[in-house]
Each structure stands twice: as structure tokens, then as C-alpha cells.
Amino acid sequence: MIQPKLIIASLALALVTFTALAQGETSNWYFGKGAGLIFRGDTVTAVVNSRLHTEEGSATISDKDGNLLFYTNGITVWNKHHRVMPNGNGLMGMKSSTQSALIIPKPASDSIFYIFTTDIQAQSNGLRYSVVNMNKDEGNGGITARNVFMIAPATEKLTAIRHSNNRDWWVIAHRWNSNAYIAYLVTDEGVSMQPVMTNVGTVHGGAHRKAIGYLVPSPDGTRLAAALWDSESNFEVLRFNRSTGEVSDPVLLKGYEEAYGVCFSPDGTKLYGTANGKGGGKAQVIQFNLQAGDEAAIAKSAVVVGTSGSPRIGALQLGPDGKIYVARQDNIHLGVINKPNALGKESGYVDTGLHLGGRKSDLGLPNFPQGIRSGAARSANVK
């Protein structure tokens, strides 16, 4: 007779296994100078089959089983065979835009995807989207609409969060020379061209280079964090309403020269940022404890958890394995934060954490929306 405890343990193991397998949409990463990674469970393998070369932004998408569908640097789109898709050239992102591209599936469709793109440093191409139909080209996909205009000028920031109905999407960007976060609703009817606009936090404006820097959601979608790149730059943490698309309650973390990347820990209680010092040469990974208390307490909680041998480091991205990966400019390694839920240096940053098989990273890592894969995380307690 099978014991009840054994049945419960088996069911729990099956649930954990299913959850890991269900996170396949982010299994394939293509970025940098021909670099690539494949995640399978807790194993990550460097691959050298990428056709993509980019200074900063890229985006990839896989199916729920972890099979590559396509990837892009915001200009060219390659299919799973690493060939350019039909009509897959001439998108109006830029390879030197921080978040040059973002891919989301159309709600209630198993074959239509949107590629959102941003121009470099608040230039005139602004925020746009293109449409991929995976039924084209014998199931390899093709572009059926290209460069549909949304708004300009906008910064290089671009992310997406699942709507509270867990079906639709909010695509989120930031206006230039403004403190307005803009959230576009994407439903089974398409992309709404009337965004929810919230004026909150700092003005993103001035010299065009201030348009640089990442915008990322927390794993549960209730927070946003932004890096504002400049010689006197900062990080910004805010609340996000998944029902209304509104942004609120900014927390400003000042004084991090050339702030670039941001990433929440898997449990949402820590924020990591990269900063490089004025002109580079002082590359650091900083951790903030979002449970420390009020704005002043969070700012005071800052700890440098790692320094890099690279003059500049860039993107931070949470992997399917629960580790955070750090882009090192022009380097054959990624940095790795092995225990990102841990406080301070217990998080275990390793500068040469992952070898890229001879290919090189640059400043970017693939841009993924919140909610593209399964798995829940609790909200950070930001006062």
C-alpha cells in the first residue's frame, strides 16, 4: 500500500517539475556579439549558433516547452533556424538602444506575436510595434505588419506586465522630457493606441544620453524599477497597478553614476542595480533591501555586492534557474548573482560566473515581459 505521505511528496515533486518545465518561454537567450544560452532546469549551456550582434538590446521568445521560436535586436528578426524571417529586416529599433525590443504573445492566440521597439536616445522613430505570424513560411514565422507608430519621443525603456486578469498585457514605456510613464493595453483585439499615462517620479529628460537605462517589473508585477543613466544618475522604484496600468509611490535612490541595469530578486524583496562611475571604470553591482522601511531606509540599505573587472557592466536579467545574470561589456563571461534572495554579499556575486563559449557579451541581455512564464513571487514590502 502506498503511504499518503509518499503520495503527497510525489505530487509536490511533480508540481515543482511541471513549474520548471512550464517556464520554457524564456529558455533561449540571444544577445551581445553572437552569444547565446539555453536553460534546461538548473542547467545553462552556452551556444554559438546566434546570428545576432547588438551593442545593447535584444529579445527572444520560445514556446512553453523551451523550443526557440525567434529572436531580434530590434532591427532584424531571425527564426528558429537562425534565418531572417520574411519581411524581417528594417524594424525601427536600434541595436544601441537599451531595450531595443520586447516580444509578447497576442492574448488568445497561439500564432501571433508583437515585437515592440524603441529608438536610440529619444530619437524620432520612438516606440513602435510589428506583428509576427508564426503560420507564415511553413511555420517558421513571418512579419505581417511593420513599424506601427505609437509615440515619440520616448526613452530607451520598454517592458511589459500581465494585466490582473492574467490574460492581457500592459506594455510600459516612458515619455521623453517628461515624468510620464505610459502603459498600453494589449488584448485579443490588438494594441490600444490610447495609453494610460501617469505623471509620477523624476523627469526623464535633458541631454539625450539620459534616455539610457533599463525599466523592469518585479516578478509579481506590482513594482517597477528604472535606471536613469547619467554622470549624476539614480534608480527609481515605483508601484504598478496591474488592473488600471497606473504607476505610483516613487522611491528615488540617488547618486549612482552611469546607472544602467536593474533587476528584482525572485522573491521581490531586493533590488539590484549596475553602475559604472563617471566615464566607466568603476563597475559595481549594488543591492537595495526593499523591506528596510521608508525611502531613506531603503537608500541607506545599499550594499555593493560585487565589482567587475570590466570597465562597464550593463543589464541584469533573472534566469529561469533563479540566478541573476550580469552583462559585462566586450567580455567572454557573464557575471552571476547566485543567491539573489540573500541579503548583502551573501547573494554570492561571481564576476566570471558563466563562460560564453568564446562569444562575447556586450551591455544588454534579452528583454522579457513579466508573466511570460509561470511561477509566483511575493510582493516586496516597499513602504
41-54 pLDDT, tens digit each: 989 999 999 999 99
Q: What is the pLDDT of residues 265-276, one digit of tens each?
A: 999 999 999 999
**Section 10-30 average pLDDT:** 57
Q: Fill in the amino acid letter for 138.
A: E
Per-residue model confidence (pLDDT) at position 23? 60
d(CA 26, CA 84): 20
Q: Kindly report the pTM of this predicted structure.
A: 0.92
Domain ranges of the chain: 4-355
- pLDDT, residue 20, reads 36
Q: Answer yes or no: are the C-beta atoms of 363 and 348 closer than 8 Å.
A: no
Spatial distance between the Cα atoms of 323 and 216, rounded to a whole number of angstroms: 16
User: Which residues, 6 or more positions from 43, have their beta carbon under 8 angstroms from its beta carbon?
Assistant: 321
Type of residue at 62: S
The Cα 19–Cα 238 span in angstroms is 28
Q: Please, is 282 exposed, middle or buried when counting C-beta atoms within 10 Å of its C-beta (0-12, 13-18, 19+)?
A: middle
Which band of pLDDT confidence, cut at 50, 70 and 90, is reported for residue 10?
very low
CB 70 within 8 A of CB 79: yes
Q: How far apart are the first and last CA of the chain?
A: 52
pLDDT digits (tens, 9 = 90+) for 329-340: 999 999 999 999
Dmax over Cα atoms in the chain, in whole Å? 72
Q: Residues 330-378: pLDDT tens digits?
A: 999 999 999 999 999 999 999 999 999 999 999 999 999 999 974 333 3
Residue with cell 513594482: 223
Question: How do residues 300-310 score in pLDDT, each as one tens digit?
Answer: 999 999 999 99
pLDDT in tens, 93-125: 998 999 999 999 999 999 999 999 999 999 999
Task: Cell numbers for 83, please give them.
Answer: 534565418
Please state, in angstroms and rounded to a whole number, the distance separating the CA atoms of residues 47 and 81.
14
Assign 3-class secondary structure to 53-111.
ECCCCEEEEECCCCCEEEEECCCCEEECCCCECCCCCCCCCCCCCCCCEEEEECCCCCC
Helices (H) and strands (E) in the chain, counts: 2, 27
Q: What is the DSSP string of 44-55?
A: EEEE-----B-S
pLDDT more than 70, % of the chain:
91
∠ Cα 350 346 292 (to 5°)? 125
Which runs of E-coded beta strand occur in 119-153?
127-133, 142-151
pLDDT band at 16 (very low <50, low <70, confident <90, very high): very low
> Is pLDDT above 50 for 171?
yes
Beta strands in 294-348 (DSSP E): 303-307, 313-318, 324-328, 333-337
Mean pLDDT of 216-222: 98
CATH topology of domain 4-355: Methylamine Dehydrogenase; Chain H (2.130.10)
* Residue 382 banded pLDDT, cuts 50, 70, 90: very low
